[in-house]
Amino acid sequence: MDTPLVWVQLAGIAVVILVAAHFLAGAAGAISARTGLGRSFIGVVLLATATSLPELATGVSSVTLVGEPDLAAGDAFGSNLFNLLIIALLDLVWRRGPILTVVGPTSVVIGTIGAATIGLAAIAIAIHGATDVGSGWPVSPFSMALLLVFGVGMYAIYRYDTPERATDPADHERPKESVSGLPRAVGTYAAAGAVVVGASVALSVTGQQLADAMGWETSFVGTQFLALSTSLPELATSFAAIRLRLPEMAISNLLGSNLFNMGVVLFLDDVAYTEGALWSVVSPVHVLTGLVAVAMTSIVILALVRRPRGRPIRQWTWEAAALVTLYAGVSVMVFRLG
C-alpha cells in the first residue's frame, strides 16, 4: 500500500475510535450515578477498561496476526506516556485552578499502584534481556506478578473509594449525563467498546504497514503513532468527563488505564505470544519509556499530595510543564534509539 494511503487509513481508524469513545464518558457517568459506586472506582473499572481496549486488541493482534511483539510492548508503554501527557493538557484547560487540587486521594492510590506495575514491567524487560530466567515458560512469572498486583490493586481501590473522599463540591453534584437510564447506559458502553475493539485490530495491521513504508523501527511506531491512536479514547473521554464536571473520573481514567495496560494488556500479550516470554523479544528501549512513565506518575502523585497550589506561569503549573517536558524528551530519545 502507498505511504499516503497508510496515513489516511491510520487517520480514519483513529477517527472511528475517537467517535466511539465520545459515548463512554456519558455512559460511565450515568452508571456511577445510578449504582452509587465511587467515581474513581468507576473511572478505573469502566472508563479505564473500555478506553484501554484498543491497547488490548492492538497488542494481541500485533502478536498473533502481525507477528510483531515489539509493536504490542511499544503501544502499551507509549500509551502510558501519552495518558500522563493528557493530564497536563487537562490541567491547562481546567478553569477552576489546577485540576489535581480538585481530585480526591483515591487517585493517589491508583497512581501509586500504577507506578509500581510500570516499574515491574520495566524490570521484567531488563531481566529477561540480560538472562534466560523464565524465558521458556509459557507465561513469564513477571506477567503473572503484574496480573496479581492489578487484582490486589483493584480491590484496594474499591475499598478505599467512597463519595465522601471527593474534595471538590462539584463531585457531589449530579453530573450532566448524556445517557439516561442504567440499561441504556450499559448498552451504550458495550456497543462503544465493541466498535473500539474492532477498530483497534485494524490499527495494529496499519501500524506494521506504516513501519514498513517509512522504514521506522517497530518500537518507535508502537511507542508514538500506535500509542497516540489507541490513547484517543482516553483523550476523548477525559475531556468529556471534565465537561460533565467529573474531574475525579477523568484523572482516575488516565491513571487506571496505565494500570490496566501493565497488569492486563501486557499479561494477555504474553499469553498470546506462544514462542516463549514476550519480555525477552521486545526492545530494551521500553525500559527507558517505563522509567520515564514512573517519573511522570510520581510527579502527578506529588502534585495530588501537595496542596493547595497555583499557576506560577500563566496557565501552566509546575507539574504540567514537567509532564510535557518529559514526554517530549523521551519521544526524541525513543526515535533516536528506535
User: 38-72: per-residue pLDDT in tens?
Assistant: 777 777 887 788 778 878 888 888 898 878 888 88
CA dihedral 135, 61, 79, 250 (to 10 degrees): -120
Q: Chain-wide mean pLDDT for the chain?
A: 82
Q: Which amino acid is at 309?
A: R
The answer to whether residue 176 scores a pLDDT higher than 70 is no
Grid coordinates standing for 327?
514526554
Residue 219 or 10, more confident: 10
pLDDT (0 to 100) of residue 120: 96
User: Which domains does the chain carry?
Assistant: 3-337 (1.20.1420.30)
Highest mean pLDDT: which range of 41-45, 99-103, 222-226, 304-308: 99-103
Q: Which residue has the higher pLDDT, 112 or 199?
A: 112
- The pLDDT, as a whole number, for residue 207 is 66
Q: Is the dihedral of CA 248, 254, 258, 264 positive or negative?
A: positive
pTM > 0.75: yes
The residue type of 308 is P
Specify the 3-state DSSP secondary structure of 155.
Answer: helix
128-170 pLDDT, tens per residue?
988 877 667 788 999 999 999 999 999 998 888 765 455 444 4
Backbone conformation region of residue 313, classed left if phi is above 0, alpha if psi is from -120 to 50, else beta = beta
Provide the pLDDT for residue 171.
46
Q: Which of 175, 171, 174, 153 is nearest to 162 (CA)?
A: 171
What DSSP designation does 171 have? G
C-alpha cell at 118: 510500570
293 neighbors 81 (Cβ within 8 angstroms): yes
pLDDT band at 264 (very low <50, low <70, confident <90, very high): very high
Cα–Cα distance, 88 to 173 (Å, whole number): 25
